[in-house]
Structure 1
Amino acid sequence: MDVQKALVAMGEPTRFRILSLLASGPRTVGEVAAAVGALQPQTTKHLQLLEAAGIITVERIGRRRLARVDRDAVRELADWLSGLASSTEDDEVLQQYADAVRAAGTAVDILFERTLLASPEAVWRAWTDPAQAARWWAPRHFDVVRCSVAAEVGAAVELVLREGDGTEYTSAGVVRFVEPGRRIVFDLSPLDATGRPFFEVVVDATLEPSDESVALRVRIAAEGADAAAAPMLAGLEPGWSQQLDRLGELLQ
């Protein structure tokens, strides 16, 4: 079935009424014309268009012409429409983001916890080696343009992301605290076009090794956002959640 052709044929008001009538069973052309209040030649033309679109069939039985819905074709159309109604993971993330934007205030404090099946050394490198960090430090549908981080207090931290349409977003800050192999705390605040932070973001990552895995706790604290920055503030939770998922996939 040509889905677009079928939808166009169905969308015309008179043809829509005809389909609604035929949904309850076959009708003669004369019965259809009387029900929709149209002349028989006009009704015949509408039926021909619906038949050409594959939605109905018109059969001659004796001296009568009977129109009926092609149920198999409609089921095919219904399957196509059902595909539009099926949500994807991205739909759910976007809905969560929209809900967060509506509820956003001026600050957030988010705690993430992950169990990573990797050595403590591998997890620590993923956080403190720029080449490793660049492989996971971006939500889905973003690419890392530039990444800078080091396990040294006072070291500059920078992250530049590029969206699919070419728009770039820069975040930056400095390392505040380091406990080698165990904990790193740094600023990573989104910057405007002049290089000033929209609001302050502090990332606090702690590693707790066990025999075969590492328990990772990441706290994201942000404050100082205004109403215009609410979408960015609301994006921290889904963005970092996706990034940490990518980290887990990378380490595995």
Structure 2
Amino acid sequence: MADVADDVQQALSAMGEPTRFRIITLLAERPYAVGEVAEALGALQPQTTKHLQALEAAGVVTVHRLGRRRVAQLDRGVLGGVAAHLAALAEASPDDIALADYGRAVDRDEALVAAGNAGRTLRFERELPAERRAVWSAWTDPAKAAQWWAPRHFDVTTFELEPKAGAQIRVVLREGDGAEHESRGRVESARVGRLVFTLAPLDPAGRPLFSARHVVTMTGRGSTRLSLSIEVTDVQPGAAAAVAGLEPGWSQLLDALTDFLAE
């Protein structure tokens, strides 16, 4: 793959010069004699020859020596390879799509926060490939929870949770650039199969951006049916990005939980 990328970069570098790009456009019609290329460009033949040599060295153009004539022709295969490489780069990744969706959600929630109408209840369902006690442990054992309790491109640096009423919860997530995001809350009730807690992100001053009450239930034998509801209230100004991130963030967390249990 590195060799392909190097070839593409070399071709693009040669083609990027304005006069050479005009030559590429001209040769896209048909092969031209070098003198014809110079005439079409309004340039001297020695200058045109140098440009063609650069394109030939990059593999974009082939110059055929036909006796005393020299005829330049595009290498369509090389151009096809460049086009395929660029087309692959142009394909949206899942992260591109998620970021675009998140941007639209932030715009929506900024308007809702401004109108004082940003509260909501989110609901998630998952069928998990583990029995109920294993799922319970994945939620309540800090060492295990820290392995899945982070969206993509984040890491858990701190995870504090004790499954008993009144216990404090503290979660710190770190982005790739080193920025950290802290959330705090408290356990309301905890028994195997049902966990109720509050957890909300903090602003730079350490104040909750909103109130978020989480109710997790785990039912079934063999595999486990997990239900999560999150009731969001008391949304503060400036909380739109955090509120908008709840739905995609928890979707990613539950996907990570599913993968963790499957392993």
Question: Under a length normalisation based on structure 2, what TM-score does the superposition of the two structures give?
Answer: 0.87
> Counterparts of 1:201 and 1:59 in 2: how far apart (Å)?
72
Partner of 2:32: 27
Partner of 2:222: 212
Partner of 1:238: 248
> Does 1:114 pair with 2:119?
no
Alignment of 1:179-198 (within 5 A): 180-198=191-209
Q: Which amino acid aligns with 2:208?
A: P
> Counterparts of 2:231 and 2:197 in 1: how far apart (Å)?
11
For residues 67-91 of structure 1, the C-alpha deviation after alignment (integer angstroms, 9 at most, x for no partner) is: 0111221122122212212333322
CA shift, 1:176, in A, is 2.3
> Counterparts of 2:12 and 2:161 in 1: how far apart (Å)?
54
Alignment of 1:86-101 (within 5 A): 86-101=91-106
Alignment CA distance shift 1:177-1:16 (3 Å): same
Alignment of 1:1-252 (within 5 A): 2-104=7-109, 105-106=112-113, 107=118, 108-178=120-190, 180-209=191-220, 211-225=221-235, 228-252=238-262
Identity across aligned pairs (percent)?
52
- Residues 102 and 244, structure 2, Cα contact 8 Å, conserved in 1: yes
Q: Which amino acid aligns with 1:172?
A: R
Please list every run of 5 or more consecutive structure 1 residues that lacks an aligned counterpart in the other structure. none
For residues 68-117 of structure 1, the C-alpha deviation after alignment (integer angstroms, 9 at most, x for no partner) is: 11122112212221221233332232222222222223334321110012
> Counterparts of 1:241 and 1:118 in 2: how far apart (Å)?
18
> Counterparts of 1:224 and 1:56 in 2: how far apart (Å)?
65
CA shift, 1:133, in A, is 1.5
CA shift, 1:227, in A, is 5.8
> Counterparts of 2:142 and 2:201 in 1: how far apart (Å)?
18
> Counterparts of 2:219 and 2:124 in 1: how far apart (Å)?
14
- Local SS of the residue matching 2:152: coil
Q: Which amino acid aligns with 1:67?
A: A
> Counterparts of 1:44 and 1:199 in 2: how far apart (Å)?
68
Please list every run of 5 or more consecutive structure 2 residues that lacks an aligned counterpart in the other structure. 1-5
Q: Which amino acid aligns with 1:72?
A: G
Question: Under a length normalisation based on structure 1, what TM-score does the superposition of the two structures give?
Answer: 0.91
CA shift, 1:16, in A, is 1.1
For the aligned residue pairs, the C-alpha RMSD in angstroms reads 1.9
Count of residues in Structure 1 that have an aligned counterpart in Structure 2: 250
- Local SS of the residue matching 1:2: helix
Alignment CA distance shift 1:58-1:136 (3 Å): same
- Local SS of the residue matching 1:192: coil
CA shift, 1:205, in A, is 1.1
- Residues 132 and 222, structure 2, Cα contact 8 Å, conserved in 1: no
